[in-house]
């Protein structure tokens, strides 16, 4: 999440009652997760396992629970509970705003766009020109919809991420990491009925220009789907995946988190993708491998009874 204007790091130290060490004159541009941070961003870390990764990242400002060595141009904000500090920041800059109308007064809707009477458009949503938003769609706060987009009935854009901070030493093991990112749907995208596209935790979930999505598809938080992709029914894509341009995912494909699928790859129906795939190939199976290799494997598996019979007869 980028702030509307830079905020002094001293303001954050006062707001969080944090001990500020290092660059006390810095300006914070936004808050982000470790795998998405940019220069000027604020990030939090609460486990020694990730201290070094966080300190060496692009983040300029780090909320942390103990002092460690760090580059002189950066700053530490030391608090007892960095995760609680993160939540306080999100709630301050993205406070809960209850809906009082189907279409929020703060929503911006472009010329030629038709919104069906039962659709819900949240606060600070931007929808471009010549779109159609069908019955019972929900476009959550801060979502961005481009031009010439079609969203079929019952789809939810910008729902909260399925993302939790886990600690076994507290009563509630799984504590919600509140989302302050956006869902961004680019121009000429079509999204089928009853799909769910989560907003980013702190950054954007993006559906690229010209991509077509069938019914009952789920796209997890912070995932980036490239341009001109085809995604068939019941595909599930976990958080922070990177799907290249021109990728085809056929029905019921499952894609794991934080991996990438290269441009123009094709994943055949009912396949599982647990790790990154190179572009320009067709894949099949669980786990997904080159489709030709998998077909050869299936042929040999089918022949096992015949081969076993020959082995037994030869004894």
pLDDT band at 43 (very low <50, low <70, confident <90, very high): very high
Collapsed DSSP state (helix, strand, coil) of residue 51: helix
- For the chain, the domain total comes to 2
| 67 is a domain residue | yes
pLDDT band at 304 (very low <50, low <70, confident <90, very high): confident
Residues 238-266: pLDDT tens digits? 999 999 999 999 999 999 999 999 999 99
pLDDT of residue 41: 95
pLDDT of residue 47: 87
Residues 90-143: pLDDT tens digits? 999 999 999 999 999 999 999 999 999 999 999 999 999 999 999 999 999 999
- The one catalytic residue in 134, 148, 218, 221 is 221
| 296 is a domain residue | no
Structural domain containing residue 12: 2-93
| 297 is a domain residue | no
Eight-class DSSP state of 277: B
Active site residue 221: yes
| 75 is a domain residue | yes
**Cβ-contact 9, 26 below 8 angstroms:** yes
Decide the pairing of beta strands 19-22 and 75-78.
antiparallel
Task: Calculate what percentage of the chain has a pLDDT beyond 70.
Answer: 100
pLDDT of residue 155: 98
Q: Omega into 106 within 30° of 0, i.e. cis?
A: no
Residue 175 shares a structural domain with residue 257: yes
Cα 124 from Cα 138, distance rounded (Å): 13
**Cβ-contact 198, 205 below 8 angstroms:** yes
pLDDT of residue 306: 85
Mean pLDDT of the region 290-300: 91
Residue 22 shares a structural domain with residue 113: no
| 255 is a domain residue | yes
The set of residues, in sequence order, having a beta carbon less than 8 Å from that of 63 and lying 6+ positions away, is 16, 18, 42, 43, 44, 45, 76, 77, 79, 82, 85, 86
Domain harbouring 70, CATH code: 3.40.1390.10
| 314 is a domain residue | no
| 315 is a domain residue | no
The Cα-based distances of 108 to 100, 129, 132, 197 in angstroms read 16, 10, 14, 20
pLDDT of residue 187: 98
Collapsed DSSP state (helix, strand, coil) of residue 300: helix
| 98 is a domain residue | no
The Cα-based distances of 151 to 15, 28, 132, 204, 252 in angstroms read 40, 36, 6, 19, 20
Residue 128 shares a structural domain with residue 260: yes
* Position 14 pLDDT exceeds 80: yes
Mean pLDDT of the region 69-86: 94
Residues 217-244: pLDDT tens digits? 999 999 999 999 999 999 999 999 999 9
């Amino acid at each position: 999440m980028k702030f509307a204007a830079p905020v002094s790091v001293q303001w954050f130290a006062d707001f969080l009652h944090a001990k500020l060490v290092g660059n006390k004159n810095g300006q914070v541009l936004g808050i982000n997760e470790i795998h998405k941070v940019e220069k000027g961003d604020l990030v939090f870390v609460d486990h020694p396992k990730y201290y070094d990764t966080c300190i060496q990242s692009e983040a300029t400002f780090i909320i942390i629970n103990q002092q460690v060595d760090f580059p002189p141009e950066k700053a530490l904000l030391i608090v007892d509970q960095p995760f609680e500090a993160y939540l306080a920041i999100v709630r301050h800059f993205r406070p809960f705003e209850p809906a009082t109308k189907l279409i929020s007064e703060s929503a911006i809707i472009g010329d030629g766009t038709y919104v069906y009477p039962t659709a819900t458009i949240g606060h600070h949503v931007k929808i471009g020109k010549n779109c159609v938003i069908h019955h019972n769609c929900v476009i959550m706060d801060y979502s961005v919809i481009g031009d010439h987009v079609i969203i079929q009935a019952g789809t939810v854009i910008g729902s909260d991420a399925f993302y939790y901070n886990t600690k076994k030493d507290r009563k509630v093991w799984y504590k919600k990491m509140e989302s302050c990112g956006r869902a961004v749907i680019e121009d000429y995208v079509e999204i089928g009925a009853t799909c769910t596209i989560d907003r980013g935790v702190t950054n954007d979930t993006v559906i690229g220009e010209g991509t077509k999505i069938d019914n009952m598809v789920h796209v997890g938080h912070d995932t980036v789907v490239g341009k001109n992709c085809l995604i068939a029914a019941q595909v599930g894509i976990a958080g922070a995946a990177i799907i290249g341009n021109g990728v085809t995912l056929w029905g019921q494909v499952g894609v794991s988190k934080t991996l990438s699928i290269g441009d123009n790859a094709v994943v055949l129906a009912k396949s599982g993708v647990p790790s990154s795939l190179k572009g320009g190939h067709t894949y099949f199976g669980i786990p997904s491998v080159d489709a030709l290799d998998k077909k050869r494997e299936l042929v040999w598996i089918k022949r096992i009874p015949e081969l076993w019979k020959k082995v037994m007869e030869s004894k």
